[in-house]
A = this chain, B = another copy of it.
Amino acid sequence: MATSCFAERLAKQVPLSDAEKRALIRLEENPRKVKRGGMIQRVNDTVTELFVLREGRVMSFVILPDGSRQILRVYFPGDFIGSASTIYSKAPESLVALSDVIVCPFDKHALRRLLEESPRVAALLFLLSNAERVAMTDRLAALGRTSAKARVAAFLLDMFDRLRVTDDSIVDSFDLKLTQEEIGDSIGLTSVHVNRMIRQMELEGLISRSNGRITLNDMARLEEIGHYTNRLKDMDLDWLPVS
């Protein structure tokens, strides 16, 4: 039977009927491989597609006129990408594969069908995009009002918690798979300063590293430094009626 990475992920948070699972599987019926570094969507291109990320990592970003880059979000397997194209016909952001990936594109008109056939699933997509909005506001507050060290701590914790949603084997460490420059572009710092912060946190024993793998040694302290709260813990998807 066909599988749906997205359904699996949703099912961890809310029960799904078989019909709903089938509807989700249909969204992923056109898997496409993209090599590391490959462009999935270019800013200002005309787009009508959204994606489910099945495997690997993807980032969305914009490039400013002076050449600097702001990474808007890093996506993990099971994430739902590119919802902006439901409302803008020109992509407001670029999408690039951070590793070899499998993405499943589907046309925005498929959402329409989903809305008619599985309104509850459509509603779940709505809720998830609200969760993403809240994640954005958290980072907004971090960039606007917190120190470099706080941002790095919050970034690591966020990545850790999001990876753990789909990967039960994660206990206290994870593969970064991002350069320090990419981290900097996510949280509004230079790679040089990201490096200094990471080295400092390593010296203080908060984290440790071995070839790209980060271990979080003192999560309580990291949460305090980063003013971090795990939003994934208190999501409430249950109020949607089983229809």
Q: Say whether A40 faces chain B, with CB atoms less than 8 Å apart.
A: no
Q: Say whether A137 faces chain B, with CB atoms less than 8 Å apart.
A: yes
**Pair A188/B143 contact, Cβ less than 8 Å:** yes
Count residues of A near B (Cβ-Cβ below 8 Å). Answer: 58
B-side contacts of A116, CB under 8 Å: 119
**Pair A133/B133 contact, Cβ less than 8 Å:** yes
In A192-209, the 8 Å CB interface with B consists of: none
**Pair A92/B231 contact, Cβ less than 8 Å:** yes
Contact with A86, one of B60, B93, B119, B127 (Cβ below 8 angstroms)? B127
B-side contacts of A12, CB under 8 Å: none
Contact with A136, one of B109, B136, B145, B227 (Cβ below 8 angstroms)? B136
Convert A68-107 into 0s and 1s, putting 1 for each residue whose CB lies closer than 8 angstroms to a CB of B: 1110100000000001101111101100000000000000
Contact with A89, one of B93, B145, B234 (Cβ below 8 angstroms)? B234
Q: Give the interface segment out of A1-9, A29-37, A161-169, A235-243.
A: A235-243
**Pair A87/B130 contact, Cβ less than 8 Å:** yes
> How many subunits of this chain does the assembly comprise?
2
Whole-angstrom CA separation of A114 from B188 in the bound complex? 40
Chain B, residue nearest A73 (CB): B137
B-side contacts of A126, CB under 8 Å: 86, 122, 125-126, 129
Whole-angstrom CA separation of A115 from B93 in the bound complex? 29
Q: Say whether A220 faces chain B, with CB atoms less than 8 Å apart.
A: no
Sample (21) of A-B pairs whose CB atoms are under 8 Å apart: A62-B141, A64-B227, A70-B145, A83-B130, A87-B130, A87-B235, A88-B134, A88-B234, A88-B235, A92-B134, A92-B138, A116-B119, A129-B129, A129-B130, A129-B133, A133-B133, A133-B136, A136-B137, A136-B140, A143-B144, A144-B187
